[in-house]
Amino acid sequence: MSLLDILAHQLLNGLVLGSFYALVALGYTMIFGVIKLLNFAHGDLYMVGGFIGFIVLSAISSVVGGGWFGIFIAMLLSMLAVGFLGVVIERIAYHPMLSAPRLSILITALAVSLVLQNTALALTNGQYTAFRSDLGFGGITLGGLFITYNQMVLVAAAAVLMIALEFFVTHTQYGRAMRAVAVDADMCELLGINVAAVIGVTFFIGSALAAAAGTMAGAYYGSLWYFMGFLIGLKAFTAAVIGGIGSIPGAMLGGLVLGLLEALGTQIPGIGSEWKDVFSFAVLILVLVFKPTGLLGRSEQERM
Amino acid sequence: MSSDATPPVLKLHGVSAGYGRIRALHGIDLEVRRGQIVTLLGANGAGKTTALKTISALVRASAGSVLFEGRDITGLRASEIARLGLVHVPEGRHILRGLSVRENLELGAFTVRDPAVRQERMREVFGLFPVLDHRQHQDGSLLSGGEQQMLAIGRALMQGPKMLLLDEPSMGLAPKLVLDTMRIVKRLNQAGTTILLVEQNARLALRLADYGYVLESGEIRMQGPAAALRADRSIVQAYLGE
């Protein structure tokens, strides 16, 4: 393989990885937007989403098959279930803490993360679960680059979800309200907007996106683990900060940028794939040093 | 002044409120009748803004009750009160940053399900403030101070208010814009909207208003028809700067 082919191949890997990061980062950034909470349990919802998708697929694969159609159904049901789980978590764990000091709610989020992880640990005995599906290995060759259909479907699915989200936040009243609550919740109440309901919708959508990523990643990589949400949670947080925390386009961009940087970073001589996490967190530190508001973030300024 | 026979649209009875341990209002009584402009005067820190925030439930009343159209609204959520048509335009305008002028207006009509009604109201607002029409796709927070005030009032009108609580609408505006803003307030009132106005510029407020209250350290010190307050030497000295 020529160097160019290797680069193209890594770009593709980065795109796939970046799609997962972006989907998880979106929830991170949306939830941060409306309640200013770094929801450390968000990565674990990705894990729960993977497991629920797997359970649903196991139950329905005899009817609809284990190909992309079956995975699509499993993904939708998983999104629905995890969306509601997110809403319930917000109601039970975060809502009562909204007027408490910020640190209390942050610690609550860590606790929720531990509960989710340990529940999954108990249910799986800490073993890896094989996510069996009937995805083939077919694909097309473009020059020296082989692109699997799976990669294409996955990136396309992530893109469709992100476009749908973008439409929602710019063209619907609830979407506008979500952006507005992120800026000024009190003003939203004065406009007759039930802020608690908007927060609920935000948790639903953010959690559902994490579940979509979890199901797709499970099917794509072929295995699930109770701890799989931890690292992607950190990476998604990194992606959200790189893009500018609170910014929805920022989370999409940050996720893709991080995925691409990681994939390409492994090609730099001296930085093997075992260094890829070091590489992404180094990028985070650089962004924080040179552009603390992130690529698309705004600084907090208000004109009077 | 309308007669005392008409029941008040808004009535505060012994309302106290504060922030944490600090009490900013000490049992105030206040009434606004339908179609009136009532102004609330007082020095900085007298509790004017707190009074409006307590009415709209941004601040919880620790004692007393607030009645709107005869209904006790103490304890309702701010969004529920707004939906009743009691609309608060807060100090500092609070334009939603990152949302366009049009989106700010659309959110004013958040509770209006019928898009035809939303369109109709937006046409009315654009008729009143043509500059908002021209700038409808700009980020609302990048407008000038005067334009932001128009947007804040326009957004309140999108809510279909029966009564407006206006907190310092002329703050930070150039003298000409202050007069423009007051003319708008007058016009809204003539169109049938009841108004409770908090205003730093007491002279202007008393010229516009039917009735006035003077707050001092969280208590009502004085009240009366605007003309009488204007003629009162002690008020002139304390708040009109002469």
Q: Model ipTM?
A: 0.94
**Closest-CA distance of chain B to residue A301, Å:** 9
Using the beta-carbon criterion (under 8 Å), do B107 and A195 form an inter-chain contact? no
B108 Cβ contact list (under 8 Å, min separation 6): A191, B154, B155, B156, B157, B158, B159
CA B213/CA B36 separation, integer angstroms: 13
Q: Which pLDDT does position B144 carry in this prediction?
A: 94
Whole-number pLDDT of residue A35: 93
Q: How many CB atoms lie within 10 A of CB B192?
A: 9
As a whole number of angstroms, the distance between CA A146 and CA A105 comes to 46
Q: How many domains does chain B have?
A: 1
Q: Say yes or no to pLDDT of B1 above 50.
A: no
Query: Would B1 be classed as within a structural domain?
Result: no
Q: If interface means Cβ-Cβ distance under 8 Å, which residues of chain B face chain A?
A: 56-58, 77-79, 82-83, 87-88, 90, 92-94, 96-99, 103, 106-108, 110-111, 141-142, 145, 148, 155, 159, 172
Q: Is residue B3 part of a domain?
A: no
Q: Has residue B193 been placed in a domain?
A: yes
pLDDT in tens, B16-71: 999 888 889 999 999 999 999 999 999 888 999 999 999 999 999 999 999 999 99
Compute CA distances A247 → A28, A132, A244, B92, whole Å.
10, 36, 6, 24
| SS3 call for B170 | coil
Query: What is the structure's pLDDT at B5?
Result: 60
Please name the member of A183, A186, A192 whose beta carbon is closest to the beta carbon of B110.
A192
Residue A33 CA to residue A169 CA, distance in Å, equals 13
**DSSP 3-state assignment of B25?**
strand
pLDDT digits (tens, 9 = 90+) for B144-199: 999 999 999 999 999 999 999 999 999 889 999 999 999 999 999 999 999 999 98
Q: In angstroms, rounded to a whole number, what is the distance separating the alpha carbons of residues B98 and A33?
A: 13
pLDDT of B203 reads 87
Q: Which residue of A has its CA nearest to B105?
A: A191
Q: Identify the pLDDT of residue B240.
A: 60
- Which of B59, B99, B165 is best to mutate for the A interface (most A CBs within 10 A)? B99
Q: Which of the residues in chain A have pLDDT under 70?
A: 1, 299-304
A55's tokens: 């359970």
| CB of A193 less than 8 A from some CB of B | yes
pLDDT tens, position by position, B92-115: 999 999 999 999 999 999 999 898
Which chain A residues contact residue B87 at CB under 8 A?
190
Residue B44, CB half-sphere, CA atoms under 13 Å: how many?
A: 1
pLDDT the model gives residue A1: 65
A192–B83 C-beta distance less than 8 A:
yes
Q: Residue B66: give the domain boundaries.
A: 8-239
Angle between helices A173-183 and B101-108 (to 10 degrees): 100
Examine residue B2 and state whether it is found in any structural domain, yes or no: no
Nearest by CB to residue A193, choosing from B87, B98, B110, is: B110
Comparing A268-272, B11-15, B75-79, the range with the smallest average pLDDT is A268-272
Q: Residue B19's domain is classified under what CATH number?
A: 3.40.50.300
